[in-house]
Amino acid sequence: MKILNKLQSRATELTNLNNILALLQWDQEVMLPVGASDGRASQFSVLSTIIHQKITDPLLGEILQDLNGVGEELSAADQALIRVVRREYEKNTKLPEKFVADFARLTSEALPVWVRARKQNDFAIFLPLLDEVISMSRQKADFLGYNDHPYDALLDLYEEGLTTAVLDILFGSLQKDLSPMLQRRISQQKSIAAKLEKLPPMEQGVQVRFTERLLAEIGYDFSRGRQDISAHPFTTSLGHNDRRVTNRFNPDSLEFIFSALHEGGHALYEQNIGSAYSDSPLDEGVSLGIHESQSRLWENVIGRSHLFWQTYYPLLQEFFPHQFKNISLDDFVGYINRVDPGMIRVEADEVSYNLHVLIRFELEKGLIDGTITAADLPGLWNEKYNNYLGVTVDSDANGVLQDIHWAHGSFGYFPTYTIGNLAAAQIWHRYCLNDTDCRQTLQQGKLAKIRKWLTDNIYCHGALYPPAELLRRVCGEELNSSYFIEYLKNKPEFSL
């Protein structure tokens, strides 16, 4: 069908342009010299404008119009391509070209300023640019349109169909379950081995080599990816055969292990998308919530389990004999599963993690509807951490400046972390129904078996199915938070 070929050609061009933009973003966070920030901001602005012009081209609109009503005779992949491109076309035609260019320039300028503010522990450095990012994010919501709350327009960018009203109910229910569970786990928790609280410093080079080995063990293909160092760990796709991860390494923290598993989970998803979707908008995870379900599954459900470490703890001891040779497996697993509310989201235990996300959701909602200003953030942040987690925040760096997302202008992103946590438990429940020996599978380190099931049921499809439909296909039902609550209630590692 000639008209479909035209759509496929344009979609391929847009995919390649977006991959080039992702390469510029990866370089900015990994390798860019400090003095090159202004030039990079201009490059972002120019390329973002070109991409916006391509996706809003009236001729593309005519192609999509001609494809209205065409469906039954097309393959599922072609129908999905039309759906995905139409969604992007409709969103982007609502955003003025100048706004897109200005927003790209602003967020590029904001990133190095956030890095400097965090390093100097001074929110005031970041405040003026953050004010501008918030203002433009409000404008974006107005341009995109919404029915009930302006935040809905931004949520939908990351998780199709997600609304503020749905999240109000979801977080309200989770808080009702998690707050008492948090207090109960803290009071029931055995004392943690003091040796693990004060590990001898680990050499960064050894940390890097261990994470590379761990990534290879879970199936990350280094011939189609690489690991680098950045201020905030992330995964990015620069093409079908170029899925990259980053990490950060603190000599006194085990965060690097779980960041590797987390980013590795994201990367496994993308590395195992069917090759038929190369160079198309289907060559990516279908949503951030589904994406996050895979990173949290590998990081927590698998990566914090006693069964997993029965295979991999000897490897950790081999890499770090000075730190772990006199620490038992049970002490290690108990430590990495300790319920100990803290300031840092990415280091949070599984019980308190979603309360970190709830705080950000409430702040973002207020920032976008105008009931909160950027200047209010440090005080409100510290107050909510005390109220929800019983934590006293000691600095801007460990508080309001800890996440990169607002420098990126990614308002609406944080709630997908909780969607991912819930979906991860639900998907793992379904996997264990399929693999009745799932405990033995983990204990014996048969990670390829798990990865194959995830590939066959989730990864290979890319963006073929909308997120809700994909979850129904995998689990036989809609997103259901009860699996996550039951997972936390029954997790044996909490009692070690």
Beta-carbon contacts of residue 480 (< 8 Å; ≥ 6 apart): 422, 426
Q: Which residue has the tokens 């009236």?
A: 58
Strand 227-229 and strand 243-247: the pairing is parallel
114 and 404 Cβ atoms separated by less than 8 Å = yes
User: Token match 């049970």: residue?
Assistant: 330
Dig out the tokens for 253 from the structure.
């923290």
Pairing of strands 235-237, 243-247: antiparallel
Annotated catalytic residue within 263, 270, 292, 350: 263
**Tokens 């029965």 appear where?**
310
SS (H, E, C) 327-355: CCHHHHHHHHCCCCCCCCHHHCCCCCHHH
Following DSSP, what letter does each residue of 241-290 receive, concatenated?
Answer: T-EEEEE---TT-SHHHHHHHHHHHHHHHHHTS-GGGTTSTTSS-S-HHH
Amino acid identity of residue 142, one-letter, is: D
Q: Which H or E run includes 247?
A: strand 243-247
User: Which residues does residue 243 pair with via DSSP β-bridges, in sequence order?
Assistant: 237
Does the active-site annotation cover 263? yes
Strand order in the sheet with 243-247: 227-229, 243-247, 235-237
Closest CA to 2 of 57, 67, 65: 67
How is 50-81 classified by DSSP, letter by letter?
HHHHHHT-HHHHHHHHHTTT--TTS-HHHHHH
How far, in whole angstroms, is CA 113 from its chain's centroid? 22
294/288 Cα distance (integer angstroms): 10
Which residues, other chains included, contact 443 with Cβ-Cβ below 8 Å and sequence gap of 6+?
307, 310, 311
HSE (CB half, 13 Å, CA atoms) of 105? 12
Specify the 3-state DSSP secondary structure of 444. coil
The answer to whether the CB of 273 falls within 8 A of the CB of 226 is no
Q: Which residue's entry shows tokens 């109910």?
A: 169
Which residues are marked as active site?
Answer: 263
